[in-house]
């Protein structure tokens, strides 16, 4: 059974401690940066708590002698064995198991590692590292819009694609060209999810769309952005997407910042076709 050794270390010393442990041959470790969640006008943010102790966790696999690792950590970090807390974390090791999600429109998000045949009204996900597990309200509400519509022969852009679940939904609904953009290197994960859903017409580009230049086509049927109000307005304005897009599906917007997005889009010729709200999160479809 796997064990975890936890050491309290000053935040200013954590990088040095990790380096010392790596040199000593201890690699399976992680730590939690202390932070406080803050509500701001764009939604939620985090404030890193400085000058606090950090819990450095060392995972000891079940076939490793715990006392030997305990002595090694004690000697390397110059702390006593009594200062090191041992905890059984066997339930935290291995993949996270998700429960299938039934969307409000009859579709389902199904978490299967392998799919032999595609069931109707089902999107398959095998969550990896990118955002977009299907659990968050914004993802589900975007899927509500996409899966209720038709995308036959359409050109779709999904900005901030993460796992690619929204891009995949558009492809399932008939989009002929789907371009998925993300600041992170998500191409392999999106390809994996696309393969699960038997779609192959998704192109992934890694680019910081807020800071870097990118050549968008002049005729985009749908642009999907599930990020946040401030970032969404900046992206649309920077790349003049209001001139190139027929419909915007926007989410990741909190109710107290929705007016900023709506007012901006109305000023450039768009109107709200439909909106839904889950808790504080607003998802809306805008059209020229």
User: How far is residue 168's CA from residue 171's CA, in Å, rounded to a whole number?
Assistant: 5
- Tens digits of residue pLDDT in 2-55: 677 888 888 778 788 888 888 888 877 777 666 565 667 666 665 555 667 888
Number of domains into which the chain is organized: 2
User: How far is residue 182's CA from residue 194's CA, in Å, rounded to a whole number?
Assistant: 16
Does residue 142 sit in the same domain as residue 278?
Answer: yes
Domain boundary among the residues 92, 115, 150 is at 92
β-pair partners for 156? 178, 222
- Give residue 43's domain range: 3-92
pTM for the whole thing?
0.71
- Tens digits of residue pLDDT in 181-235: 999 899 999 999 999 999 999 999 999 999 999 999 999 999 999 998 999 999 9
Does residue 120 sit in the same domain as residue 187?
Answer: yes
**DSSP assignment of 187-220, as one string?**
HHHHHHHHHHTT---EEEEE--TTTS-----S-E
* Of 17, 91, 95, 10, nearest in space to 58 by CA: 17
Half-sphere exposure of 28 toward its Cβ, with a 13 Å CA cutoff? 11
Does residue 120 sit in the same domain as residue 73?
Answer: no
β-pair partners for 39? 44
Does residue 149 sit in the same domain as residue 268?
Answer: yes
Q: Which CATH number is 71's domain given?
A: 3.30.70
Domain boundary among the residues 37, 59, 92 is at 92
Does residue 256 sit in the same domain as residue 169?
Answer: yes
The region that residue 224 occupies, defined by phi over 0 for left and psi between -120 and 50 for alpha, beta otherwise, is beta
Contact (Cβ atoms closer than 8 angstroms) between residue 269 and residue 275: no
């Amino acid at each position: 059974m796997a064990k975890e050794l936890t050491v309290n270390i000053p935040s200013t010393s954590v990088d040095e401690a990790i380096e010392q442990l790596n040199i000593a041959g201890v690699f399976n470790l992680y730590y939690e940066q202390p932070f406080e969640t803050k509500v701001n006008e764009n939604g939620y943010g985090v404030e890193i708590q400085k000058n606090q102790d950090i819990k450095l966790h060392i995972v000891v696999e079940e076939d490793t002698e715990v006392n030997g690792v305990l002595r090694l950590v004690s000697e390397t970090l110059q702390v006593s064995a009594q200062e090191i807390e041992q905890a059984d974390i066997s339930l935290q090791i291995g993949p996270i198991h998700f429960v299938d999600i039934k969307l409000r429109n009859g579709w389902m998000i199904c978490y299967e590692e392998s799919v032999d045949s595609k069931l109707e009204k089902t999107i398959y996900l095998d969550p990896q590292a990118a955002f977009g597990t299907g659990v968050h309200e914004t993802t589900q509400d975007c899927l509500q819009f996409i899966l209720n519509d038709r995308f036959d022969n359409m050109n779709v852009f999904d900005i901030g694609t993460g796992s690619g679940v929204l891009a995949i939904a558009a492809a399932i609904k008939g989009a002929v060209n789907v371009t998925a953009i993300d600041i992170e290197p998500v191409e392999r994960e999106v390809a994996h999810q696309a393969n699960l859903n038997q779609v192959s017409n998704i192109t992934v580009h890694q680019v910081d769309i807020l800071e870097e230049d990118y050549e968008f086509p002049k005729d985009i049927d749908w642009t999907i952005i599930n990020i946040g109000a401030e970032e969404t307005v900046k992206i649309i304005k920077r790349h003049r997407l209001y001139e190139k897009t027929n419909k915007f599906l926007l989410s990741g917007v909190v109710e107290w910042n929705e007016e900023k997005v709506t007012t901006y889009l109305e000023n450039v010729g768009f109107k709200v076709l439909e909106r839904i709200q889950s808790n504080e999160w607003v998802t809306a479809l805008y059209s020229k």
